[in-house]
A and B are shown apart, each in its own frame.
Chain A
Amino acid sequence: MDFAKKRGLAMMGVRILPLVFALGISKLVYSQDVISPVSTEGNQTENNQTELTLPAMRSTIDNTLNQASQKLKSSKVEERVGAAKLLGKYANAQVSLLLIGALDDSSELVRRAVMVSLVEHFNNGSPIYEQALVEKIFSKIGDPDVEVRRETSALIPRLIPGLMRSGMERIQVNGRSILRSIPGKLRQDLQDLANQALIDPDSIVRQNVLKHHFSLRFQMESQTFARLLGDKDVSVLLVALDQARMYAAQSGTYDQMEALTKHSDVGVRAKLARTVQSLGRSFPQYRKILRILTNDPVDEVATLSAVDLARLGERVSNEMIDRIIAYLSKAKGLFGKAESLFYSLSALGSDAKRIYKALLEHPSASMRAQAWVRHLSLSEGWKNASSWRDALQDRDLKVRKGVLSLLRGRVEQINRNDLSYLIKSRHVEVRSFASELLLVAEKEVVKECFFDLLIDEDSLVRSTTLRALAKIQADGWVDLHARSLKDKDYAIQRAAMDGLLGDHQVGVPALLKYLRQYPAERISTLARRELQQMGINP
């Protein structure tokens, strides 16, 4: 008891000191903050908002606050409301204290205005950490007015640092005085109010308290949680499902969650599937819910559940794979639940091959793109050009780019027919890829194909071809590069220069010769610098 008293006194000191300090500081700041008439003439800004000349007479901050604090005590409700609203604009500890003092006003209009202004203080850089004050604000979770309760419940995350402050106490152990930490804890009466708020008639209040009750460090009774899992409000239900792990082992939770398999809202059933999938590892009995959900009439819920079961190691039937294909084929695009399902398919392992293959002609470009990438990855399709040729003729750039990203660096060989096919493509990125493939083509194939690429209308294709030819040192590449240094297109000149720089024996001498002949060309300056960095003085 002595300890408790001592702690109480010590805590009071801790609580009051910062307040006094804050008030002193704020007084100092504001005593200098006398607002003189401001005149900003004709300062035009964007959007025709013009800075105007302010009225000549404005009050000081002290006068404004004094008047508002007087009005806060007025017998007229309207005056008190006005004062509470105005005080929200002056965020500092002194004003917060005034507002907190009005939290028990007899009028709900005043209490609402006070809460909204306190929220404004929190948002405008004047949070309240003083535990006694924060506890006072939190106690409004039990206010008779629903708007006040809503505002309070929405403010909980901002109140938690003040509410959950830990402390220290001095105790005697074997005659020695030692300091011991006391963890932050919600006062019992406030905890009772919070528990009551979990069954508040207003769904917003229920939802907010449920969302943050863990941070308030209290656990509700199992029947309360089961009741929330049966809440009429979908938003409350979704939040309750988020918290299910904490109560999964308690009686009533499983039954209530199983009952949700028949909930009318698809979003709730989808969320249930996702929640149960997560619980399934620690609480195997919850897998039964997933099995029930695989019979859901809505494809997206059934298929998601089946894939979730696969993640837990259960095999997915062929019928379900057909259903997944049917669902994803009907999906408008890779978005929302279809997207979640698609990216979960990797859990099916090689069983997913059939699904990806079925989606290669999907009308949505994003779906096609991902289906192609996954299909080629799983089947190691980059080894055979006939597997990916069609993807590179897709009408959508997203598909072509996705497939090209996968193929780059993986394709190890290409024959004449396939390379010619790519060279004839009307898409520049495909022709550019064909240029890159010269690196892995047979010498004869390179010889037959490179010229078509060198006269391509796009400079990216031409420059990529030059770079590839330099890399493989195709017959006559030095002459070709030396000639290309005179090209009008800088990208070609640059590719030619890079190619020649890469070969000391024949490339560099050819470049030096060019520099002697054309010392003032655009590429010459860069070439000289590159050569100097290599230790060659041109």
Chain B
Amino acid sequence: MRSCLLFCFSVWIAVFSHGQDSSVQIDNAGAVRIMQLRRDGPTRVRYPDALPSLLELMNERSLANFDPDPLFIESLADERLFEHPVLYVNCDELPNFDFSSEENEALRRYMKLGGFVYLDAGIKASFLGTDLGHSYAAWEERAEVRQWFEQLFPDQPFSPLPRNHEIFRTFYKGLPDNEYLRLEEDQKRLPDTVLTFVEQEKWPQGTYSMVGIKVNDRLACVASPICAMGWGRDEFGAWIPPISFRVRESAEDFDETLQVASFAGQTYEVTREDGLKDEIYLVPGNRPLWVKEPTGRWRIFKYYSGEEISNYAHSFYARLGMNVFLYALLN
């Protein structure tokens, strides 16, 4: 793995430097530095520990060499953009999606020259409102992101990444097992219903809802529901902050019951992986209640929290984050 990484890093760097006609900045004794866009400086930071923790974790768990100190840029017109291969953007931290034409041109050029853009929270259902900590795994980018990138690449819309895409298995494959989670062999990782849903529907084989844009036949940008909430660790290695799960559960008579159950909210459509639409029932400002699926099946949303849920979710998001960043450097 190490030799593979080093080889690819040097190949990438060579390609990138050639195209850009300037050298890639390798600080910290050869470490790759990840850039993060923060339009408002440190004033709108939702998960300050997230990216540094993930970079540190990648250094611990793989033989990759990342500088755990991200380079924060406030504008895409910053000349340092072209000195580093990966740009991370937490879309929930952006005050708006208004970018000047100069910035858009810089980003377009960056992606054309080999830069990779990771739009965290680039997928987000509007009905989640201001509760930024929530994600909803739709299979299309949020409207603001679509409008932004239409200015950059009008002929290249985002398209869903298939579950068998290499990005989901660049380094880790599958979901965390008991050994990874440091649990006893016979210890329950998750409640039964949760585990079944997670393994079969939520994150099958460690995949997630992602969309991307290809530039020159290379995946140059991906957008995902918020993942940064799962990356933070405190100084003793414990995950922060706690995360809870939303799962869909069924019951024998839900198809009849939920169809007529008392309800005083609104319904929304969300695009599924297969392109069909789920019909979500929710009272605005609250968590979604239940869903009518395109098959005609009705299921209820249940929320699980607790140490085991949080640890599992963190492990998943961290593994996914590692896969994305390493993919960005290897491809």
Binding site for B on A (CB under 8 A): 33, 35, 38, 40, 45-52, 54-55, 57-61, 63-65, 67, 71, 76, 78-79, 81-82, 85-86, 88-90, 112, 116, 119-120, 123-124, 146-147, 150-151, 154, 202-204, 207-208, 232-235, 238, 265-268, 270-271, 274, 332-337, 339-340, 363-367
Contacts and interface: CB of A to CB of B under 8 A. Distances in A.
Contact of B262 (A46, A47, A60): A60
A48 B183 contact: no
B68 A335 contact: yes
Given A82-B252, A333-B28, A61 B262 contact: yes
A49 B126 contact: yes
B263 A35 contact: yes
14 contacts: A46-B142, A48-B269, A49-B126, A49-B270, A124-B286, A147-B188, A151-B306, A208-B307, A332-B66, A336-B52, A336-B56, A336-B68, A364-B27, A365-B27
A86 B261 contact: yes
Contacts of A367: 69
A47 B238 contact: no
Given A64-B262, A150-B306, A207-B307, A333 B68 contact: yes
Nearest to A211: B307
Contact-residue size bin, chain B (C-beta under 8 Å from the other chain) = 35 or more
B303 A89 contact: no
B93 interface: no
Which one of B235, B252, B269 has the greatest number of beta carbons of chain A within 10 Å?
A: B235
B51 to A, nearest CB: 10
B121 to A, nearest CB: 12
A339 B306 contact: no
B264 interface: yes
B290 interface: yes
B32 to A, nearest CB: 11
A123 B286 CA distance: 10
Interface string B266-292: 111111000000011000001101100
A154 B306 CA distance: 6
B191 A47 contact: no
A52 B305 contact: no
A203 B31 contact: no
B235 A47 contact: no
A409 B167 CA distance: 52
Interface in B254-268: 254, 257-264, 266-268
Nearest to B299: A85
Interface string B78-107: 000000000000000000000000000000
A35 B263 CA distance: 7
Contacts of A336: 52-53, 56, 68, 233, 235
B69 A365 contact: yes
B264 A332 contact: no
A76 B251 CA distance: 12
A146 B258 CA distance: 29
Given A88-B302, A232-B184, A267-B238, A335 B56 contact: yes
Nearest to B25: A395
Contacts of B127: 45, 49
A86 B140 CA distance: 30
Contacts of A232: 184
Given A46-B142, A365-B27, A203 B187 contact: yes
B293 interface: no
A366 B252 contact: no
Contacts of A45: 126-127, 268
Given A58-B260, A81-B251, A204 B28 contact: no
Contacts of B260: 55, 57-59, 64
Nearest to B258: A86
Contacts of B271: 48
Interface string B231-254: 001011110000000000101111
Interface in B183-234: 183-184, 187-188, 191-193, 233
B125 A85 contact: no
Contacts of A332: 28, 31, 55-56, 59, 66-69
Contacts of A59: 260-262
Nearest to A153: B306
Contacts of B268: 45, 49-52
